[in-house]
């Protein structure tokens, strides 16, 4: 087990982090861009303005790229619960499997059927009908998010289950409770709006690069950019608001996660001040340096100027007490319940900071692209900023994901089952090193190729959207079972 | 074993049948594109004829995996962790072929396109080969401990039955794919597909006999369930005969049905032989049985209601999506630039 100084558990955890983080670049990307393309095509269907058709087709090409990488990396997620976390699957299959299977039936079939139809039928259906196909695809991607979050929310805040005393497994007692998990309905708006931000800023950023290169498609990119900025602004304001709602839930359900994102080791006084930056001594559980704003934490947490927040040291003691009499030996043996504070603290600041940055940039962009005085192309520096904004939502999404998942350490199912217990006992360190290397290489190549082709599509501009689809095939009608079919 | 447990065992079987019938020809078209498509133009046609469908076909596997997780978590956990490297290779295959469709469309140079055409061929071979090796290794009885964890040695995975089964599965997919090409193209590709199938069917019949003998000696299928195993084995051969007849008599539709059903009956043979187990252990005391492997009655009930509502709807639009693409693509289509 200890060959090379790495354990099975740490390798499995690293692999899970790598595969989900990579997959989660493409999930919000596809959800957001699919939604935006659907709106573009709907406007085309209503107004019959060709430029919106071009927009739907051009951004549709980028959407298809992200969808392809998203779908293949998604299959890994489904299999790896069994492959790497077989004990978890046994413990949780009763509850975790159901949302996953429903996701496949309800969402995957919908999106994968209609994306295929949408891709290949531009010239075969009326614009309104064809727009319906991209809507069905887009709705599929969102439904898929709901069910994955339902499964994940149970891991954050288990509801609607009993522990079977004979088998020591979690069993579903109420499906309604699993689905109405308060975590789910707080996290879903946050995630979906974050996805819209991602799609919007990909459109904005890529349009900015298009304008930067002074392409002949200037009008097209200006229009796309303004479109993206509006969606970006609305979604970014929404994502901050939804994040605030979600925080209220986390303070209640997972105070340790919350304390770590705020870097509070000791209980704060009332009113509590908010740390802008801080450094931590994680060994001795102390904050070493900090710059903070008075009142701010009380305001952020409780929306009033008073109120204290429990620190990690207190919470650790409380959790220890709570689980001292637990029947499971491995849970009793947990030494402490501290979560990776540095990662959580900084992830939160990245995420929130980027949220506000997106709002600011959207407002500036909308001012400078307004129809009466569209001076965006004169401001080269701002085009550069917009171009770099492509990466911002991705970083914000990943930060949010890290907070969610690392913040429940050492639990895989909060309060019920530990990460250490969940790993597959029959896999070996060698197998995991091999799979880690394979995934790493695959992801590097896929990510690189995807960016390369997206860039190339951008440089080609509107010339590229005639596209190598089936549209230029001369097709012959035939009934496969008739004699005439073979001429 | 409760009625719901039995229904879910059947349903998992149905999902795998659906997967092999549908994705079987996708894999086959992929492999065939490395054999019968010589020009870039022809390769592009091969990609296009399954372009609208491959994703939804693959969803059958995703659904089968998800349904297995939901209804038989013990089976899902043991199988997937036990065959770790094999499933990793399946995933690698699915990934490199899955991206090849979109990446080949975006590639601008001939070299770039060829690279993705090649990953398409390779992935389409790797995934079914590994899946079939897993299945045919699994049914021979493997070392399982009391907790349900597999401890597989190399020869538990790679042996005569799993190799012959793997190759037979690949061959059947290839033939199935060629039948799909015959149905969906006109011109040179259709001719080559037909010629290749005229050559492959005799090989397949020899392979099926060897395969049947190995199943007879290496598994307990014929000892435990002689009649049903025999009938299903015969049906595999009969369906292949129908497929071959369709090739020689130029009935593409029947060929596709025949090759698809012969693959389906291979899956049914496995599930019939497994019953009432889901995993067969070398030590019979450690067999994982349907009645022990399943989720709780509540979870199964919820899932059953969900399936009864959703499956008919899914099937309607799934079939519709095939019906709108019933046109043949000529082998000489225009390629971009």
Residues of A whose CB is below 8 A from B65: 78-79, 82, 104
Residue A468, pLDDT score: 44
Q: Chain A contact for B85, CB < 8 A?
A: yes
Selecting from A114, A431, A473 the residue whose C-beta is nearest the C-beta of B329 gives A473
Q: Give the model's confidence band at B334: pLDDT under 50 very low, under 70 low, under 90 confident, else very high.
A: low
Question: Residues B67-113: pLDDT tens digits?
Answer: 999 999 999 999 999 999 999 999 999 999 999 999 998 888 899 99
Q: Which of A180, A109, A186 is nearest to A141 (CA)?
A: A109
CB of B308 within 8 Å of a chain A CB? The answer is: no
Contact A93 B105 (CB under 8 A): no
A93 to B102: CB separation less than 8 angstroms, yes or no: no
Residues of chain A with pLDDT under 70: 1-5, 466-487
pTM over 0.80: yes
Q: Which chain B residue is nearest to residue A431, measuring alpha carbons? A: B85
Give A292-308 pLDDT, tens digit per residue.
998 989 988 888 888 88
Query: Does pLDDT of B337 surpass 60?
Result: no
User: If you count DSSP H runs as helices and E runs as strands, how many of each does chain B have, helices first?
Assistant: 14, 4
- The CA–CA distances, whole Å, from B174 to A30, A349, B22, B244 equal 33, 54, 12, 13
What is the mean pLDDT of the segment spanning B12-23?
96
Residue B129 has what pLDDT?
97
- Average pLDDT of the segment spanning B316-329: 89
The answer to whether B315 contacts chain A (CB < 8 Å) is no
Task: Give contacts of B99 with chain A, Cβ < 8 Å.
Answer: 68-69, 72, 446, 449
Residue A386, pLDDT score: 94
Contact B53/A at CB under 8 A = yes
> Strand pairing of A274-281 and A169-172?
unpaired
**Considering only CA atoms, which of B152, B129, B6, B23 is closest in space to residue B81?**
B152
Residue from A88, A92, A112, A413 whose CB has the most chain B CBs within 10 Å, to mutate: A112
Q: Which residue has the tokens 């493409």?
A: A26
Q: What is the CA radius of gyration of chain B?
A: 20
Cβ distance A68 to B98 less than 8 Å, yes or no, reads yes
The partner residue sitting opposite B62, judged by closest CB among A108, A119, A481, is A108
Residue B4, chain A, CB below 8 Å: the answer is no
Instruction: Assess whether pLDDT exceeds 90 at residue B327.
Output: no
| A104: nearest CB among B44, B62, B334 | B62
Record: contact A95-B329, CB cut-off 8 A:
no
Tokens standing for residue B248: 């020689």
Query: Across residues B106-122, what is the average pLDDT?
Result: 93
Nearest CA in chain B to A425: B149
Bond from prior residue into B113 cis (ω within 30 degrees of 0): no
Dihedral, CA atoms, B332, A479, A121, A452, nearest 10 degrees? -40
**A338 three-class SS:** coil
Go through A381-392 and write b for each residue having 16 or more CB atoms within 10 A of its CB, e for each that does not.
ebbebbbebbeb
Give chain A positions within 8 Å (CB) of B252: 480, 485-486
List pLDDT tens digits, range A35-94.
999 999 999 999 999 999 999 999 999 999 999 999 999 999 999 999 999 999 999 999
Give, as one character, the DSSP assignment of residue A157.
Answer: S
Percent share of chain B, pLDDT over 70:
99
Q: Quick: pLDDT tens for B221-277.
A: 999 999 999 999 999 999 999 999 999 988 989 999 999 999 999 999 999 999 999
């Amino acid at each position: 087990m200890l060959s090379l100084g790495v354990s099975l558990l740490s390798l499995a955890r690293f692999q899970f982090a790598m595969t989900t983080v990579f997959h989660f670049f493409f999930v919000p990307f596809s959800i957001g861009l699919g939604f935006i393309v659907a709106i573009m095509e709907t406007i085309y269907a209503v107004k019959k303005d060709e430029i919106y058709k071009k927009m739907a087709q051009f951004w549709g090409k980028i959407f298809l790229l992200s969808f392809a990488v998203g779908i293949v990396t998604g299959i890994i997620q489904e299999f790896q619960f069994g492959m790497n976390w077989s004990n978890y699957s046994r413990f949780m299959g009763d509850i975790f499997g159901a949302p996953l299977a429903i996701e496949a039936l309800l969402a995957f079939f919908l999106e994968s059927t209609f994306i295929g139809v949408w891709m290949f039928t531009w010239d075969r259906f009326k614009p309104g009908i064809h727009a319906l196909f991209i809507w069905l695809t887009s709705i599929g991607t969102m439904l898929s998010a709901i069910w994955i979050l339902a499964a994940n929310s149970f891991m954050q805040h288990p509801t609607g289950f009993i522990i079977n005393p004979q088998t020591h497994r979690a069993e579903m007692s109420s499906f309604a409770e699993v689905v109405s998990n308060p975590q789910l309905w707080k996290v879903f708006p946050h995630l979906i709006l974050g996805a819209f931000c991602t799609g919007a800023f990909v459109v904005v950023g890529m349009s900015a690069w298009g304008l930067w290169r002074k392409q002949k498609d200037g009008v097209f990119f200006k229009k796309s950019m303004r479109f993206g900025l509006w969606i970006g602004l609305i979604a970014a304001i929404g994502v901050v608001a939804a994040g605030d709602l979600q925080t209220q839930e986390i303070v209640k359900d997972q105070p340790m996660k919350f304390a770590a994102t705020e870097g509070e080791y000791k209980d704060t006084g009332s009113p509590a001040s908010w740390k802008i930056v801080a450094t931590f001594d994680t060994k001795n559980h102390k904050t070493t340096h900090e710059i903070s704003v008075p009142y701010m934490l009380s305001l952020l947490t409780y929306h009033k100027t008073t109120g204290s927040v429990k620190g990690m040291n207190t919470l650790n003691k409380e959790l220890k007490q709570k689980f001292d009499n637990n029947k499971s030996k491995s849970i009793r043996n947990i030494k402490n319940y501290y979560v990776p504070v540095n990662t959580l603290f900084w992830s939160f600041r990245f995420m929130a900071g980027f949220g506000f940055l997106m709002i600011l940039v959207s407002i500036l962009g909308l001012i400078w692209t307004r129809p009466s005085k569209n001076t965006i192309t004169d401001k080269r520096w701002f085009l550069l900023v917009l171009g770099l904004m492509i990466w911002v939502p991705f970083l914000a999404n990943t930060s949010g994901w890290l907070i969610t998942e690392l913040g429940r350490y050492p639990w895989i199912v909060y309060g019920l089952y530990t990460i250490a217990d969940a790993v597959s006992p029959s896999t070996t360190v060698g197998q995991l090193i091999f799979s880690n290397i394979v995934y790493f290489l695959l992801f590097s190549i896929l990510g690189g190729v995807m960016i390369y082709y997206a860039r190339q599509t951008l440089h080609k501009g509107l010339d590229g959207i005639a596209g190598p689809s089936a549209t230029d095939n001369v097709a012959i009608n035939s009934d496969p079972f008739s004699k005439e079919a073979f001429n | 074993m409760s009625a719901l447990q039995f229904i879910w065992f059947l349903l998992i079987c149905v999902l795998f049948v659906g997967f092999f019938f549908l994705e079987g020809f996708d894999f086959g078209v992929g492999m065939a594109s490395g054999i019968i498509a010589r020009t870039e133009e022809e390769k592009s046609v091969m990609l296009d004829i399954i372009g609208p469908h491959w994703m939804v076909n693959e969803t059958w596997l995703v659904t089968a995996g998800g349904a297995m997780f939901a209804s038989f978590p013990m089976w899902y956990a043991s199988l997937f962790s036990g065959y770790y490297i094999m499933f990793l290779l399946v995933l690698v295959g699915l990934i490199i072929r899955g991206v090849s469709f979109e990446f080949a469309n975006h590639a601008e140079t001939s070299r770039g396109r060829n690279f993705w055409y090649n990953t398409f061929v390779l992935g389409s071979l790797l995934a079914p080969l590994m899946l079939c090796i897993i299945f045919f290794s699994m049914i021979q009885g493997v070392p399982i401990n009391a907790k349900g964890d597999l401890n597989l040695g190399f020869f538990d995975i790679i042996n005569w039955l799993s190799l012959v089964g793997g190759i037979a599965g690949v061959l059947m997919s290839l033939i199935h794919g060629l039948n799909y090409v015959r149905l969906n193209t006109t011109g040179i590709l259709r001719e080559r597909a037909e010629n290749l199938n005229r050559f492959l069917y005799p090989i397949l019949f020899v392979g099926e006999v060897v395969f049947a003998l190995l199943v007879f000696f290496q598994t307990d299928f014929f000892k435990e369930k002689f009649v049903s195993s025999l009938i299903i084995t015969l049906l595999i051969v009969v369906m292949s005969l129908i497929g071959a007849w369709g090739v020689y008599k130029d009935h593409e539709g029947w060929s596709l049905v025949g090759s698809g059903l012969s693959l389906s009956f291979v899956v049914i043979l496995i599930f019939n032989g497994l019953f009432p187990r889901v995993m067969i252990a070398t030590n019979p005391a450690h067999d994982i049985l349907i009645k022990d492997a399943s989720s709780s009655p509540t979870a199964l009930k919820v899932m059953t209601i969900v399936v009864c509502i959703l499956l008919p709807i899914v099937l309607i639009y799934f079939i519709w999506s095939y019906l709108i693409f019933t046109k043949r693509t000529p082998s000489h289509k225009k390629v971009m630039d």
